[in-house]
Amino acid sequence: MAKTFKGRTKSKYNYVGLPTEMSGEIQRIIETDKRLGFVSMQEFVKEAVRRSIIEYSGTYQKQKGVD
């Protein structure tokens, strides 16, 4: 069973690698543009992936004729 923290079930994670150049650019963005609100690379990557899922899910649904 997953551990809990403050009544929440802890999520399981998968890990992926990023090219050094890409992770460096992400870190640069986080450090130089505080108005974006990201405090970690993990937050930045999760948001980027979340946006891609939304975008591509919509594209997939449109191709299948689902709205």
pLDDT in tens, 41-58: 999 999 999 999 888 887
Contact 44, 50 (CB under 8 A): no
Residue 7 lies in a domain: no
Residue 14 lies in a domain: no
Give me the number of domains the chain comprises: 1
Residue 12 lies in a domain: no
Residue 8 lies in a domain: no
Q: pTM value?
A: 0.67
How many whole angstroms separate alpha carbon 4 and alpha carbon 39? 24
Per-residue pLDDT at 10 exceeds 90: no
pLDDT band at 31 (very low <50, low <70, confident <90, very high): very high
**Domain boundaries, position 24:** 20-64
Q: Which CA distances in Å does 24 have to 36, 44, 67?
A: 17, 12, 38
Residue 46 lies in a domain: yes
Residue 26 lies in a domain: yes
Residue 25 lies in a domain: yes
Quick one: what percent of the chain has pLDDT higher than 90?
55
Residue 6 lies in a domain: no
Give the pLDDT mean for 14-19: 93
